[in-house]
Amino acid sequence: MLLLALMLLCLQQPQLSLGLIPTVCVANVTSKASVCCPIPKGFSQPCGGRGRGECVRIQAYQEFEHYHPGLVKDDRLMWPSRFFEFGCQCDSRYWGADCGECFFGWRGPRCNQRDVRLRRNIFTLSPAERDQYREISRLMRVKMSPYSVLIEKYNNQSDPLRSPVFVPATVHYWLVYVHRYASRRTLFPDAKQCQQFGILDLNHGGPGFMTWHRYYTMMLERELHKIAVERFNWTTFGLPYWDWVDATWCEVCQNDIVGAPGECDNFGQRLHPASPFSGWDEFCTTPSAKDRQQLGGGSCYGCHAAERFGKLVRQWTSLSLPTTAEVNYGLSIPRYYYPEEFNRPAQDLENCGFARYLEGHCGPMELYGKIGTLHNKVHNSVMGSFCCAATAPNDPIFFMHHSQISRLVHMWFLRHRPHPVDMANINVSPGHDRQSYMVGFYPPIRHEEVFTDIAALGYEYDTLEFGEPVRRRLQKEGRMPKPTLKHFINCQRGFLHPQHRLHRHEFEDELQRFLAEHPGAAA
């Protein structure tokens, strides 16, 4: 895999992309001069006209002079130019496919009033607010988003130059899809090509991981905020975070948050039936080995490849969540990335920039352990649907997790005050260049535009403290839940990913540690 990645980088370099298509523009995807310049409500000109926005040729960033022929087919290359040649360019504070909305941080009819979302520790929400947040998370599965997604059941369906099939998506469907869309491999029609060239990942494993996921939380927050206002007139809604630093169990696994542990089956642990998220169908899922073979083998398959949708499941393979020492180490790293470091082995301490450490791919052995650092460590602990890019955003833990990841990013920015030029633009993998449009998002936005202080992005956090001091304070205030034995003893069978399974003695050690820390839990 690493070797292939190196080979690819030598052969050529990457691209640009765009992802989800505004439903209002779907009909134009296959037209000759493809235009996505809608007229916003209350206006008479495309993109609103003078003073609001205008219809211009989309300038996709060309990262590589020559694409390898094996990759040219990829519909995400030169995002979003494979879908549209023309799109709206909005004036300063306006935003949207039609410039009908305000950019992040602004509101009002002329988008000239400041608007800042406050992201709070989930355990500082009042019980009523928590109920509302849970209801908002449920409603995002049924509320339609302004986007349509490509059906990717067959590997020949997603290229806009052939015969794309679109379907309008709910907010949650769109969120799960776009994460999958940017992370999947090219949809090669046969196994040989997939093995040879199926290595792209446009939002993980590179310096763009941070910016892509940061923007993802902003888009998510924007959509959830709409629901919060419509349903509860909750105008100050911001995306809550789970501060998992130094946590020894899944504190948010409660029925009034993301769902308590339920029964075990061959796939892992289901959610408690009293949680509204229990039994959720996954929007994108992983095909069986047999289906994968038919789709070209390996990992070259899209969101809809599997016959049946899976159901939300967790598998808790470890309760080793990131520690204060681990966060402090990351915050002390001065460099954002080192050129080519993403092709290096883990625990390469001389080349472990903040971006790669944050994502979880490198670090000192005692912090890296078996399952990586920070971001990856949490995914690899929860596992189940949370394991992998295809399915992780199906689990509502995902949103609180990435709100927390973005909080760490903010702390690192405050400490090191990087400039946009500190973001990568040399020898980075496709889609991760600072000038690339982040794949899957429409309207198009470049990585470098969100490589900035959050004051320019329209959100902030309640506190930058983390770990034990905060937890102790919340405990004193009676705001932290208490674990049950089920929070610790999970399904020790039927793991989808045997390589992550704990050895028996490791499990016993963790159990003893847990019982020592939570003497009441066994009751």
Q: For ligand NAG, which residue of 29, 36, 305, 457 counts as binding (CB under 6 A)?
A: 36
- CB-wise, 59 or 235, nearer to ligand NAG? 235
Rg (CA), the chain: 22
Query: Can residue 28 be called a binding residue for ligand NAG (CB under 6 A)?
Result: yes
Which stretch, 106-114, 154-162, 282-290, 341-349, contacts ligand NAG (CB under 6 A)?
Answer: 154-162
Distances (CA, A) of 492 to 266, 315, 317, 376: 10, 8, 8, 21
Query: Can residue 44 be called a binding residue for ligand NAG (CB under 6 A)?
Result: no
Query: Can residue 194 be called a binding residue for ligand NAG (CB under 6 A)?
Result: no
Q: For ligand NAG, which residue of 30, 112, 113, 235 counts as binding (CB under 6 A)?
A: 235
Q: Least distance in Å: CB of 154 to ligand NAG? A: 4
- CB-wise, 38 or 467, nearer to ligand NAG? 38
**Across-strand partners of 460?**
118
Q: Least distance in Å: CB of 389 to ligand NAG? A: 24
Q: Least distance in Å: CB of 388 to ligand NAG? A: 25
Q: For ligand NAG, which residue of 112, 156, 328, 512 counts as binding (CB under 6 A)?
A: 156
Tokens of 131: 């109920």
Which stretch, 12-20, 23-31, 388-396, 461-469, contacts ligand NAG (CB under 6 A)?
Answer: 23-31
Query: Can residue 154 be called a binding residue for ligand NAG (CB under 6 A)?
Result: yes
Query: Can residue 38 be called a binding residue for ligand NAG (CB under 6 A)?
Result: yes
Mapping DSSP to helix (H, G, I), strand (E, B) and coil, where does residue 113 land?
strand
Around Cβ 307, how many Cβ atoms within 10 Å?
10
Q: Least distance in Å: CB of 456 to ligand NAG? A: 25
What residues between 121 and 140 interact with ligand NAG by CB under 6 A? none
- CB-wise, 40 or 240, nearer to ligand NAG? 40
Pair 405, 218: CB distance under 8 Å: no
- CB-wise, 19 or 46, nearer to ligand NAG? 46
Q: Least distance in Å: CB of 111 to ligand NAG? A: 19
- CB-wise, 235 or 512, nearer to ligand NAG? 235
Query: Can residue 25 be called a binding residue for ligand NAG (CB under 6 A)?
Result: yes
Query: Can residue 176 be called a binding residue for ligand NAG (CB under 6 A)?
Result: no
Query: Can residue 112 be called a binding residue for ligand NAG (CB under 6 A)?
Result: no
Query: Can residue 37 be called a binding residue for ligand NAG (CB under 6 A)?
Result: yes
- CB-wise, 110 or 162, nearer to ligand NAG? 162
Contacts of 107 (CB under 8 A, 6+ apart): 113, 114, 115
Around Cβ 256, how many Cβ atoms within 10 Å?
17
Q: For ligand NAG, which residue of 163, 266, 328, 332 counts as binding (CB under 6 A)?
A: 163
Q: What's 284-339 look like in SS3?
A: CCCCCHHHHHHCCCCCCCCCCCCCCCCECCECCCCCCCCCHHHHHHHHHCCCCCCC
Side-chain half-sphere of 521: how many Cα atoms within 13 Å? 20
Which stretch, 30-38, 115-123, 311-319, 324-332, contacts ligand NAG (CB under 6 A)?
Answer: 30-38
Which stretch, 31-39, 107-115, 193-201, 306-314, contacts ligand NAG (CB under 6 A)?
Answer: 31-39
Q: Least distance in Å: CB of 430 to ligand NAG? A: 25
Which stretch, 22-30, 167-175, 350-358, 488-496, contacts ligand NAG (CB under 6 A)?
Answer: 22-30
**Across-strand partners of 168?**
148
Pair 381, 274: CB distance under 8 Å: no
Closest by Cα among 81, 304, 82 to 173:
304
Q: If binding means CB under 6 A, how many residues of this protein chain bind ligand NAG?
A: 15
Which stretch, 33-41, 208-216, 311-319, 492-500, contacts ligand NAG (CB under 6 A)?
Answer: 33-41
Query: Can residue 233 be called a binding residue for ligand NAG (CB under 6 A)?
Result: yes
Contacts of 513 (CB under 8 A, 6+ apart): 248
In the chain, count H helices and then E strands: 14, 14
Residue with tokens 């034995």: 485
Q: Least distance in Å: CB of 95 to ligand NAG? A: 17
Query: Can residue 431 be called a binding residue for ligand NAG (CB under 6 A)?
Result: no
Contacts of range 357-363, beta carbons closer than 8 Å, 24 or more positions apart: 357/329, 357/330, 357/333, 358/209, 358/210, 358/330, 358/405, 358/408, 358/409, 358/412, 359/204, 359/205, 359/209, 359/210, 361/205, 363/326, 363/329
- CB-wise, 28 or 320, nearer to ligand NAG? 28
What does DSSP assign to residue 111? S
From CA 340, how far away is CA 227, in angstroms rounded?
Answer: 42
Q: Least distance in Å: CB of 53 to ligand NAG? A: 12
Closest by Cα among 209, 408, 399, 402 to 327:
408
Residue with tokens 């791919």: 361
The answer to whether the bond into 498 is cis (omega within 30° of 0) is no
Q: How far is CA 146 from the centre of its chain?
A: 19
First to last CA, the chain: 47
Query: Can residue 24 be called a binding residue for ligand NAG (CB under 6 A)?
Result: yes
- CB-wise, 235 or 266, nearer to ligand NAG? 235
- CB-wise, 50 or 503, nearer to ligand NAG? 50
Pair 359, 375: CB distance under 8 Å: yes
Which stretch, 24-32, 256-264, 490-498, 501-509, contacts ligand NAG (CB under 6 A)?
Answer: 24-32
Residue with tokens 């960033």: 61
Q: Which residues bind ligand NAG (CB under 6 A)?
A: 24-25, 28, 31, 33, 35-38, 154, 156, 162-163, 233, 235
